[in-house]
């Protein structure tokens, strides 16, 4: 936490965060964007004592099928720090499904993806000496909790902002009992409103009416004083808008030259093909979250979701980034995908593990913000990538930040897939 009152001045003056980078989360014209966010390819490596699940295993995130269908994703996979990056040298590590830290100067472990409106649930454990926090919509380098983040304090003692308060913004009316056991926390951020519940009791109902309203930012775990532990960290995006009505293809167009068939069957979009073809949204998105559920009705079929795509034509039907759909694996090893693997950014990355199965519904979550792209399949993060290529209007040739279409792919004569529950949410700028 940032120490309050006179103590906070000493803390901020004498013990600043050790800086490792800075993200300016803004959303002006693409040419004016300046990103220095954590590079996904440099995501924290798991310490040697952490063992990846066997290659034939689909890791258990702890999410139920119902939660996955409702849009929940795991920010912590339970065995590594993939998708996270520290802003200093705190000894963040994983032991037996728990993120721990107890050494180093005060600092944060942050998601490499920013989030805007969401519900977050997690478990934490404090010791009497612990001073920590869960940072919400934070910059990568927060200095002032009244401007740079929302710090949900996790500190039973030594503070004017006890556990459940927002440091420098809102103090809970009655401190919670000191507790050294595992505790549960649910936080909901929607627009200017933040509601928090700890151990089933609502402790915070805050509306930010200040000029320092934050719309988007990273999620950060803090190590300040003493040992801190986190586990079971899950997020559900809010304010998602449906882009397929389940009745017809209103809002979608078949790209000229396509040799695929797209039709509505049983409230889903069913695609078959003679050759490649694409069904494209009329609307476009630049920085956004996307979720969709699909089923491949064959073995190792090839399809995908294209995004930030140039409007399709006979000369160029699919000039966009592509989230690959291909559940084939080499041998029995899910860490060795065929054809990049479901959740990969095709021609740019491979999925670190194939977690979807053919003939079964699976949910894809895509975050695209500036040059950073992340993908979760059934709540498990498989891609964490930053496009460092030179800018180009065509994502096949270089970095594209400009808004583009989303499209579904028909690939070849074996194509036979269904899509449903397609939803999108624009990600806002850092300024109100």
In the chain, where are the structural domains located?
5-237, 241-426
Where is pLDDT greater, at 4 or 400?
Answer: 400
* Residue-level pLDDT at 175: 87
How far is residue 392's CA from residue 210's CA, in Å, rounded to a whole number?
A: 39
- Torsions phi, psi for 205 (to 5 deg): -140, 95
**241-426 matches 5-237 in CATH topology:** yes
Buried b (16+ CB within 10 A) or exposed e, 325-355: bbbbbeeeebbebeebbbbbbbebbbbbbbb
pLDDT in tens, 97-116: 999 999 999 999 999 999 99
The CATH fold assigned to 5-237 is Jelly Rolls (2.60.120)
Both tokens assigned to 296 = 């491949």
For residues 25 and 140, is the Cβ–Cβ distance under 8 A? Answer: no
> What would the mean pLDDT of 313-323 be, rounded to a whole number?
95
In CATH, what is the architecture of 241-426? Sandwich (2.60)
pLDDT in tens, 170-192: 999 888 888 899 999 999 999 99
User: What is the pTM (predicted TM-score) of this model?
Assistant: 0.89
| Chain centre to alpha carbon of residue 251 | 26
All residues at 6 or more sequence positions from 203 whose CB lies less than 8 Å from its CB, including other chains: 163, 164, 172, 176, 196, 197
């Amino acid at each position: 936490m940032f120490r309050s009152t006179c103590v906070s001045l000493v803390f901020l003056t004498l013990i600043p965060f050790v800086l490792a980078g800075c993200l300016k989360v803004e959303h002006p014209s693409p040419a004016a964007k300046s990103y220095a966010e954590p590079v996904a390819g440099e995501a924290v490596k798991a310490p040697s004592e952490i063992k990846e699940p066997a290659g034939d295993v689909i890791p258990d995130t702890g999410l139920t099928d119902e939660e996955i269908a409702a849009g929940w994703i795991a920010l912590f996979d339970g065995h590594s720090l993939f998708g996270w990056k520290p802003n200093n040298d705190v000894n963040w590590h994983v032991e037996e499904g728990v993120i721990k830290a107890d050494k180093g100067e005060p600092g944060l472990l942050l998601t490499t993806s920013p989030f805007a409106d969401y519900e977050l649930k997690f478990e934490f454990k404090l010791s009497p000496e612990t001073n920590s926090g869960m940072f919400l919509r934070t910059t990568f380098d927060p200095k002032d909790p009244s401007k740079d983040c929302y710090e949900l304090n996790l500190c039973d003692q030594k503070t004017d902002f006890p556990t459940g308060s927002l440091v420098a913004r809102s103090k809970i009316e009655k401190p919670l009992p000191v507790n050294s056991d595992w505790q549960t926390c649910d936080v909901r951020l929607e627009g200017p409103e933040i509601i928090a519940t700890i151990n089933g009791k609502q402790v915070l109902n805050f509306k930010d009416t200040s000029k320092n309203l934050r719309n988007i930012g990273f999620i950060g775990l803090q190590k300040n004083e003493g040992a801190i532990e986190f586990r079971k960290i899950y997020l559900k995006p809010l304010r998602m808008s449906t882009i397929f009505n389940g009745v017809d293809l209103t809002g979608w167009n078949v790209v000229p030259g396509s040799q695929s068939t797209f039709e509505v069957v049983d409230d889903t979009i069913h695609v078959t093909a003679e050759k490649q073809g694409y069904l494209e949204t009329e609307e476009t998105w630049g920085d956004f979250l996307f979720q969709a559920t699909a089923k491949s009705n064959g073995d190792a079929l090839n399809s995908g979701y294209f995004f930030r795509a140039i409007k399709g034509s006979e000369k160029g039907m699919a000039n966009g980034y592509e989230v690959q759909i291909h559940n084939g694996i080499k041998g029995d090893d899910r860490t060795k995908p065929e054809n990049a693997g479901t959740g990969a950014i095709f021609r740019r990355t491979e999925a670190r593990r194939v977690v979807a199965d053919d003939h079964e519904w699976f949910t894809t979550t895509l975050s695209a913000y500036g040059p950073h792209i992340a993908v979760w399949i059934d709540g498990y993060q498989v891609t964490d990538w930053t496009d460092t290529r030179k800018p180009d209007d065509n994502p096949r040739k270089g970095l594209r930040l400009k808004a583009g279409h989303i499209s579904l792919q028909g690939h070849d004569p074996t194509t036979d897939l269904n899509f449903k529950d397609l939803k999108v949410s624009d990600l806002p700028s850092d300024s109100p």
